[in-house]
Structure 1
Amino acid sequence: MTENELSKIVFETGLKIHKKLGAGLFEHVYEECMFYELTKSGFSIEKQKLLPIIYEELRIENAFRLDIILENKVILEIKTVDYIAPTHKAQLLTYLKMTGCKLGLLLNFQSDVFKNGVTRIVNGL
Structure 2
Amino acid sequence: MALGFKHADLTELIIKAFYTVYNALGYGFLEKVYQNAMAIELRRLGLDVTQEARIVVYYGDEVVGEYSADLLVADAVIVELKAVKRLLPEHEAQLLNYLKATPYEVGLLLNFGPRAEIKRKAFDNDRKGSMRWMRPTMGNGK
TM-score exceeds 0.5: yes
Size of the aligned set, in residue pairs, is 120
Q: Choose the corresponding residue for 1:77, options 68, 75, 80.
A: 80
What is the deviation of 1:80?
0.6
Q: Choose the corresponding residue for 2:94, options 80, 91, 94.
A: 91
Q: Write the distance in 1 (CA, Å) between the matches of 2:57 and 2:15.
A: 30
Return the index of the structure with the highest Cα Rg.
2
Q: Which residue of 2 aligns with 1:23?
A: 27
Q: Write the distance in 2 (CA, Å) between the matches of 1:91 and 1:110.
A: 18
What is the deviation of 1:70?
0.6
Residue segments in structure 1 that go unaligned for 5+ positions in a row: none
Normalising by structure 1, we get a TM-score of 0.88
What is the deviation of 1:48?
0.5
Normalising by structure 2, we get a TM-score of 0.78
Q: Write the distance in 1 (CA, Å) between the matches of 2:76 and 2:114.
A: 25
Aligned residues of 2:42 and 2:49 also touching (Cα < 8 A): yes
What is the deviation of 1:56?
1.5
Q: Write the distance in 2 (CA, Å) between the matches of 1:47 and 1:88.
A: 18
Does residue 70 of structure 2 align to residue 67 of structure 1?
yes
What is the deviation of 1:50?
1.8
Instruction: Kindly report the root-mean-square deviation, in angstroms, between the aligned alpha carbons of the 2 structures.
Output: 1.6
Q: Write the distance in 1 (CA, Å) between the matches of 2:16 and 2:40.
A: 14
